[in-house]
Amino acid sequence: MSFSTLGLAPELLRAVASRGYTEPTPVQSQAIPLVLAGRDLLAGAQTGTGKTAAFVLPMLQRLSTSHDRELAAAGRPRIRALILTPTRELAIQVEESVRVYGGGRRRSTAIYGGVGFGGQVAALRRGAEIVVATPGRLLDHARQGTIDLRSVEILVLDEADRMLDMGFIRDIRSVLALLPDRRQNLLFSATFSREIRGLAEGLLNSPASVQATPRNTPTALVRQVAHPVDRSRKRELLSHLVRSHAVDQALVFTRTKHGANKLAQQLWADGIATATIHGNRSQPQRLRALSDFKAGRVTLLIATEVAARGLDIEQLPHVVNYELPMVPSDYVHRIGRTGRAGVEGDAISLVCVDETPLLRDIERLLGAPIPSLVVAGFEPDPSIRPEPVRLRSAGGAGHGAAGRHHHAPRSRGASSGAFGGSRRGGGQRVGRPRRHEIPGSSIGNQAGRWSSLPGERKHR
Ligand code: AMP
């Protein structure tokens, strides 16, 4: 399969070739002709599958019409394509792809929270045809009258599952109300909960659907295990797993930047070479950490959620969840980093009693239990009571500057399972458990070996 058979214009084929891509990824070969044909699209694809180019390339082509020249001649460009993303990091990354693939021919801008309005208002005033935005900040602009979305022709919801998990559904619906009725809609999501399906039903018009993550194969490639362990002994257990060669090289997820730093220091003290990748590390520091890891100079690469997104690490044998993510679909995204390209991988979760409810939520999303294995010598102390898992804001370490939205209250307290039956002192579950499901499961993916550190391409 070659890009030239997909119906893309010569300048886009040149852009693709200059990026060094020789053949389309599965989501690209499926999605591009459908989008070019003007279809609405429901796509199952996660980071690393090449999903960005799958919508950006055909979108750029559809914007290159004579109508477009008429519009441009009439004055400053109007917003013709809107891409919504859950986080500022992703907005920046996608907008960069628009610029790279568009060869500077299309004006684009990224709109996200956590920074001043001034620069964004100025960029919007100068005019942009393509806006990549997080929903909250976009609405703030709409309310202030600094953005006009009435000429949007193409809407893309990127990582829709994350947007919903982050509580953006109302914002998304408010944005939809600002768009013209006639438009093309593309929805990309790694997982498909009932909420996502509901959103898709209301949004998409006779959509074509594509699935970049082959059904069931990923679970077969990723061996998952949960090690119940006391919260105070997690670091010791991780060191033990490395020393006993149960883990050689691994990407280790912590919930916070502070947690990543602290763990790295402790592991160094244990004599294990580590590096960290998180929001407080500069781009050169991140690249250095990544190259040290790839070269084998570093055993454990400790990362927070967002920072680890799009990391270009092929054939990653192990992913360790030092702390479980607060949002179940993040688990799927995390472990999608292993078991790629037909290579088997392990996803190891160190689960303390506080996290049992999070584990249950993840298992509910997966539709299957994660095998639990107590490591000898690390049996959890049954007298330890669960402590509530501290909530973090969506704008925190995990999800970048998504703004004012907080995750729904999580259930807490103890439950059965990894800790072997109901535990004394366990509180009742509070809050409504989330119900998720994945059609055919999309953990990991065979198509997912194309990825890079966000921003890495600038350095290539
Ligand atoms: P995405 O899933 O959109 O985040 O893309 C992940 C990475 O794959 C990015 O670094 C892209 O530059 C890269 N990529 C996208 N399409 C291809 C392709 N056809 N061949 C090789 N790399 C690609």
CATH level 2 (architecture), domain 3-211: 3-Layer(aba) Sandwich (3.40)
Is the C-beta atom of 25 inside 6 A of ligand 1?
yes
CA of 449 to the centre of ligand 1 (A): 8
E strand intervals along 123-249: 130-133, 154-157, 184-189, 208-211, 222-228
The residue to mutate among 2, 51, 52, having the most atoms of ligand 1 within 8 angstroms of its beta carbon, is 52
| C-alpha span between 61 and 64 (Å, rounded) | 5
- What is the three-class DSSP state of 63? helix
Residue 310: the pLDDT is 57
- What is the three-class DSSP state of 82? strand
pLDDT digits (tens, 9 = 90+) for 211-267: 876 433 344 567 899 999 999 999 999 999 999 988 889 999 999 999 999 999 999
Is the C-beta atom of 13 inside 6 A of ligand 1?
no
Residue 313: the pLDDT is 67
- Protein residue closest via CA to atom 22 of ligand 1: 450
Which tokens hold the place of 83?
Answer: 């891409």
Is the C-beta atom of 310 inside 6 A of ligand 1?
yes
Can you name the CATH fold of 222-437?
Rossmann fold (3.40.50)
Which tokens hold the place of 211?
Answer: 């699935």
Is the C-beta atom of 256 inside 6 A of ligand 1?
no
CA of 186 to the centre of ligand 1 (A): 18
Task: Find all residues with CB under 8 Å of 3, minimum gap 6, and list them.
Answer: 13, 16, 17, 21, 23, 24, 28
Q: pTM of the prediction?
A: 0.60
In the chain, where the domains are located:
3-211, 222-437
φ, ψ of residue 159 in degrees (nearest 5): 50, 55
Is the C-beta atom of 136 inside 6 A of ligand 1?
no
Residue 339: the pLDDT is 59
Which tokens hold the place of 391?
Answer: 């909530």
Residue 216: the pLDDT is 31
For the chain, 460 residues long, the average pLDDT of each consecutive 10-residue run is 92 93 91 96 86 96 72 75 93 93 92 94 95 97 96 96 89 96 95 87 93 52 89 96 90 93 95 89 82 90 78 74 89 72 78 94 83 94 77 38 35 35 31 31 29 30
- Protein residue closest via CA to atom 15 of ligand 1: 50
Which tokens hold the place of 208?
Answer: 């074509």
Residue 105: the pLDDT is 85
**In Å, what is the CA distance from 238 to each residue of 71, 106, 334, 431?**
59, 48, 18, 32
**In Å, what is the CA distance from 262 to each residue of 5, 268, 339, 340?**
51, 10, 28, 30
CA of 97 to the centre of ligand 1 (A): 10
Task: Find all residues with CB under 8 Å of 252, minimum gap 6, and list them.
Answer: 238, 263, 300, 301, 302, 303, 319, 320, 322
Which tokens hold the place of 51?
Answer: 């999903």
Residue 49: the pLDDT is 80
Residue 118: the pLDDT is 96
Is the C-beta atom of 29 inside 6 A of ligand 1?
no
Fold: same for 3-211 and 222-437: yes
Which tokens hold the place of 249?
Answer: 């090289």
Is the C-beta atom of 46 inside 6 A of ligand 1?
no
Give pairs for 194-202: CB < 8 Å, separation 24+: 194/435, 194/436, 194/437, 195/164, 195/169, 196/160, 196/161, 196/164, 199/157, 199/160, 199/164, 199/169, 199/172, 200/42, 200/160
User: Which atom of ligand 1 is closest in space to residue 97's alpha carbon?
Assistant: 12
User: Which atom of ligand 1 is closest in space to residue 46's alpha carbon?
Assistant: 2
